[in-house]
A = this chain, B = another copy of it.
Amino acid sequence: MNISSRRGFIKTAAAASFVAASGAGARTAAAEEKTTTGPAFDHLHSPAPLPFDAKNLRGLSEKLIQSHWENNYGGAIKALNALRGRLVQALNDPTSPPYVYTGLKREQLLRTGSVVLHEAYFGNLGGSGKPDADVRTRIAGSFGTFDAWESEFRKIGQGLGGGSGWAVLGFNRRLKVLENYWMADHATGPIDTTPVLVMDMYEHAYAMDYGAAAAKYIDAYFANINWELVASRL
Residues on A close to B: CB < 8 A? 25-26, 34-41, 43, 45, 63, 67-68, 71-72, 75, 79, 82-83, 86-87, 91, 95, 97-109, 111-113, 115-117, 119-120, 140-145, 147-149, 151-152, 155-156, 158-164, 168, 170, 172-175, 177-195, 202-204, 207-208, 211-212
Contact assessment for B182 and A105 in the assembled complex, using a CB-CB cutoff below 8 Å: yes
- What is the total number of copies of this protein in its complex? 4
Contact assessment for A156 and B105 in the assembled complex, using a CB-CB cutoff below 8 Å: yes
Cross-chain contact of A102 among B35, B95, B156 (Cβ < 8 A): B156
- Report B-chain residues with C-beta under 8 Å of the C-beta of A75: 162, 212
Closest chain B residue, CB of each to CB of A63:
B211
Closest chain B residue, CB of each to CB of A102:
B159
Contact assessment for A107 and B116 in the assembled complex, using a CB-CB cutoff below 8 Å: no
**A35-B147, A143-B40, A204-B212 given; A117·B163 CB < 8 A:** no
